[in-house]
């Protein structure tokens, strides 16, 4: 099976029922002002946040993905979902083999649970949304191009893939292009697994047929640091861009147009 991240027109799996609706990639941002300014320079838009969190919190979106910037200690990037009725759902998660690392539920608090996949990827389930959707079209790309997916390093690809399949994501076999990876698709969520030898950290992947020109414009505008891409990708048409808080963006030549 081939998953086209840009055209997920196949039936959704049960991920919405199990995990809820995908909300954001949660990111620890020690200097949230610097991070917000960085993403705005890239063409992201701020969403209106609520007062759920006591720490400084901002959400930046390109219309396809939302990055939740948290000026507090947070295991990140954290895949964050909204799952109403969390308190009555703990037993079901445990039956699926999920080992909960955080359980904050009660009548007078904002309910939240957290766990990790077998590769160590943090996942958070929240009782309700923490921001209002931004009025921005998914067709309006940022200066990075079109958001593709979040790619996670995984030593044991089969074990991690099986875990996410249990939680309802639709998975395909390993694909070689544009780099070796295993795609996973859920409700509002596009993930992939890659081997750590390709890149040892999570990558937020953006893609464009004219990525080389985009990279050149970013350099002209002094936006960086821009570094060579992971091994195996053409350094003339691909690059790695690191945000102030350490989030790594992979700017990828769109091989679909090749």
Closest CA to 74 of 52, 49, 95, 53: 53
Q: Is residue 7 part of a domain?
A: no
Q: Are residues 115 and 150 in the same domain?
A: no
Domain count for the chain: 2
Is there a single domain that holds both residue 37 and residue 113?
A: yes
Does one domain contain both 82 and 38? yes
55: Cβ–Cβ under 8 A, 6 or more apart, which residues?
A: 70, 71, 72
Residues 115, 184: one domain? Answer: no
Looking up residue 183, the CATH number of its domain turns out to be: 3.10.180.10
98 within domain boundaries: yes
In angstroms, the CA 250 to CA 226 distance is 10
Same domain, yes or no: 69 and 160: no
Check if the beta carbon of residue 94 is closer than 8 Å to that of residue 100.
yes
- Structural contact between residues 227 and 240, judged by C-beta atoms closer than 8 angstroms: yes
Q: Is residue 137 part of a domain?
A: no
Residue 37 lies in a domain: yes
Position 25 in a domain: yes
Find the domain containing 26 and state its range. 15-126
Q: What is the pTM of this model?
A: 0.90
Q: Are residues 181 and 250 in the same domain?
A: yes
pLDDT by residue for the chain (258 residues), tens only, comes to 333 433 333 333 445 568 899 999 999 999 999 999 999 999 999 999 999 999 999 999 999 999 999 999 999 999 999 999 999 889 999 999 899 999 999 988 999 999 999 999 999 999 999 999 888 887 888 999 999 999 999 999 999 999 999 999 998 788 999 999 999 998 788 999 999 999 999 999 999 999 999 999 999 999 988 999 999 999 999 999 999 999 999 999 987 643
Same domain, 69 and 121: yes
* Same-domain status, 182 and 110: no
């Amino acid at each position: 099976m081939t998953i086209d991240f840009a055209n997920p027109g196949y039936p959704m799996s049960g991920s919405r029922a199990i995990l809820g609706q995908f909300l954001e990639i949660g990111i620890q941002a020690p200097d949230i002002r610097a991070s917000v300014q960085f993403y705005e320079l890239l063409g992201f838009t701020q969403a209106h946040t609520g007062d759920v969190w006591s720490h400084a919190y901002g959400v930046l979106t390109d219309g396809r993905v939302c990055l939740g910037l948290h000026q507090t200690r947070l295991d990140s990037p954290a895949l964050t979902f909204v799952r109403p009725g969390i308190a009555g759902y703990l037993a079901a998660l445990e039956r699926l083999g999920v080992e909960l690392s955080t359980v904050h539920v009660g009548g007078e608090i904002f309910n939240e649970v957290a766990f990790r996949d077998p590769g160590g990827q943090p996942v958070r389930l929240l009782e309700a949304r923490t921001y209002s959707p931004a009025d921005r079209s998914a067709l309006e790309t940022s200066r990075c191009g079109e958001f593709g997916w979040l790619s996670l390093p995984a030593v044991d690809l089969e074990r991690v893939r099986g875990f996410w399949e249990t939680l309802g994501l639709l998975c395909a076999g390993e694909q070689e292009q544009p780099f070796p990876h295993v795609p996973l698709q859920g409700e509002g969520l596009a993930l992939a697994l890659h081997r750590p030898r390709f890149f040892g950290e999570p990558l937020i992947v953006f893609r464009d047929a004219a990525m080389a020109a985009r990279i050149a414009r970013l350099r002209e505008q002094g936006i960086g640091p821009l570094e060579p891409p992971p091994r195996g990708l053409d350094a003339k048409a691909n690059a790695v861009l690191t945000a102030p808080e350490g989030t790594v963006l992979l700017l990828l030549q769109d091989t679909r147009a090749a």
